[in-house]
Chain A
Amino acid sequence: MIGEDDVRYVARLARLHLEQGEMQRMTGELGKILAHIDKMSELDTDAVPPTAHVLDVVDVTRPDRVEEGLPRAEALRNAPAVTDDSFRVPRMG
């Protein structure tokens, strides 16, 4: 059963700030959802290969041709903060 400490830990992994109220609600909701998901354990799947995606294609390649990239100004256009033609972020902590 998932507890509030687990939820806090997973939120940290996901880089997701949750308010205290959200944390409590999430703990209850995830518990219910995971209980439903646990239905899968009724099946013996040891001998079944996994499906990552359904297409019968692997290692798709294309000719390595040089194409024009996105201009720097375009790439930076949506950035919340820019400095010296680069993305600006707070210090690493």
Chain B
Amino acid sequence: MGSLDTLRLTAREAKKLLVDGAVSAAELTKAYLDQIAAVEDRVHAYIVVTADNAAKYSTKVDREMQAMRGPLAGLPIAVKDNMVTEGVTTTCASRILHNYMPVYTATAVRQLWDDHVVMLGKTNLDEFAMGSSTENSGFQTTRNPWDLATVPGGSSGGSAAAVAAGEALWGLGSDTGGSIRQPAALCGIVGMKPTYGAVSRYGLVAFASSLDQIGPLTRSVYDCALLLQHIVGKDPRDATSVALPAPIELPTAARLDGLRVGIPREYLAAGIEPGVRARFDETAARVEELGGRCLEVSLPHTEYALPAYYIIAPAEASANLARFDGVRYGHRAADAEDLITMYERTRGEGFGPEVKRRIMIGTYALSAGYYDAYYGRAQRVRTLVRRDFEAVFEEVDLVASPTSPTVAFKVGSRTDDPLAMYMSDICTIPVNLAGLPAISIPCGLSDGLPVGFQLIGPAFSENRILSAAHALEAAIGFEPAPSLRDSSAGAAGAGAPDGAASVSAGEGGQ
């Protein structure tokens, strides 16, 4: 085996190496574990690395090649730590779940385990997936491999950074308001949020149940389709999962002939950095070079999507997080004299500031006297946001926008201003409200940091999106070159306090 370039290797290429016998599953897994050992103390992508399990399981894949043959067998993956994994701790990056050992496995992860994918570990996130930078993790702040002084985005920042830093071949994330697409954009990789219902949410610790979706974080559009193929499907354990009208296809397109791409003027109106805007405009020009047509369109209720989201998501979260009460699992406050006091102290000690904020907003919005003014109105605004998209998809096949208004921002630069942090998701949130599929692909650099290009489609148009993204990806020719350097070295260093030691991996799993 020659040395593997884990920073560039795609799953498609890795698969070929395995099939050709050029590399074994054990060697492939070891390459990622070696890269983790080399860079993880700078990147902090993982909460738990299941190195022993991964090494053992990859050896088993090699040994039982005949029985374990399959399109994904032996390909190593990173899993966001809000998907439960039997025998491996699942913390949601929260102190309240620091010792939680699930007794079952999320359907999406189970499907991959059944396909003999090798799990490398569980990745960092903003606590309970609430945030856009991973700075809200109760354990550690993940760093962006392109510049360790900046954030990787969030909430799936751990999986995104792991893939970008060559610490995983690909990863799973979850997206409630942009939590796959925004970190993919900031880390220079591909990330997709499927149509609501396409992937089972069983075993995904619930944040906002009507918005959450699991999806892939990968190094190429082809890999994204390949991974998506193996996690979609109706699950009897998730009543909101549905069968796709057509199977996910592996993309081959090189042209966009006849494709109509709408560019919503509201998304470009305010707050888009000039460098991001420049890369976006260049990519839109490529759409036309490839035979597509760009048209200006309008999504008039865009400015109301963020306010509606910040009622709906916290309202659902306040209900979903009621289950963390110190009775059945997780942290419990010591020496509380009665039950209610135990609840209150457990939650006060266990949750971090952003989770508390959202529980408070949600509880307030659902409380007597405010329900109609906040939650009721937000649900009606959600209908208007959906209708905007429905109307636009009468005229165009896909909608394009920047994924994030800015490139990766400095660690600490937005933590004192929740609203500024919320603005990170201005281009991604409306998509979740409407339940639509969308992808982010890297489209170049601004100030040396990656810029993401978002393509949004109608419900269940995953194949159309993947096909267009594949053609664009080839035309863009993005070259991944994360430096793993710290632009602020000498000033505030990148060595975040690493709380991972407080979490034990467990001996179960695959």
Contacts and interface: CB of A to CB of B under 8 A. Distances in A.
Interface size of B as a range: 35 or more
Interface of A: 2, 6-7, 10-19, 22, 26, 29-30, 32-34, 36-43, 45, 48-55, 57, 60, 62, 70, 74-75, 77-81, 87, 89-93
Contact of A92 (B242, B307, B328, B338): B338
B209 to A, nearest CB: 8
B377 to A, nearest CB: 5
A39 B380 CA distance: 14
Q: Which of A39, A51, A62, A74 has the most CB of B within 10 A?
A: A51
Nearest to B306: A36
A77 B306 CA distance: 40
B487 interface: no
Main secondary structure of the interface of B (DSSP, over half): helix
A11 B356 CA distance: 9
A30 B308 contact: no
A53 B327 contact: no
A32 to B, nearest CB: 6
Given A18-B348, A33-B419, A37-B374, A49 B383 contact: yes
A10 B301 CA distance: 30
Contacts of B357: 26, 29-30, 33
Contacts of A17: 344-345, 347-349
A81 B332 contact: yes
Nearest to B355: A16
Contacts of B345: 17
Contacts of B301: 43
A45 B196 CA distance: 24
B382 interface: yes
A15 B343 contact: yes
B328 A51 contact: no
B67 interface: no
Nearest to B329: A78
Contacts of A77: 101, 103
Contacts of B194: none
A57 B348 CA distance: 38
B339 A91 contact: yes
Contact of B338 (A30, A49, A90): A90
Contacts of A50: 376, 379-380, 382-383
Interface in B230-265: 236, 239-240, 242
Interface string B344-381: 11011101010011011101100100000110111111
A56 to B, nearest CB: 9
B386 interface: yes
Contact of A33 (B100, B242, B418): B418
A50 B315 CA distance: 15
Contacts of A78: 99-101, 103, 328-330
Interface in B104-144: 104
A11 B103 CA distance: 32
B379 A55 contact: no
A81 B301 CA distance: 50
Contacts of A29: 357, 418
Given A39-B304, A78-B328, A30 B196 contact: no
**Which 3 residue pairs of A and B lie closest in terms of their CB atoms, listed nearest first?**
A54-B435, A17-B348, A93-B338
Contacts of A12: 344
A87 B303 CA distance: 47
Contacts of A70: 103-104
B394 interface: no
B328 A7 contact: no
B383 A51 contact: yes
Contact of B242 (A30, A48, A57): A57
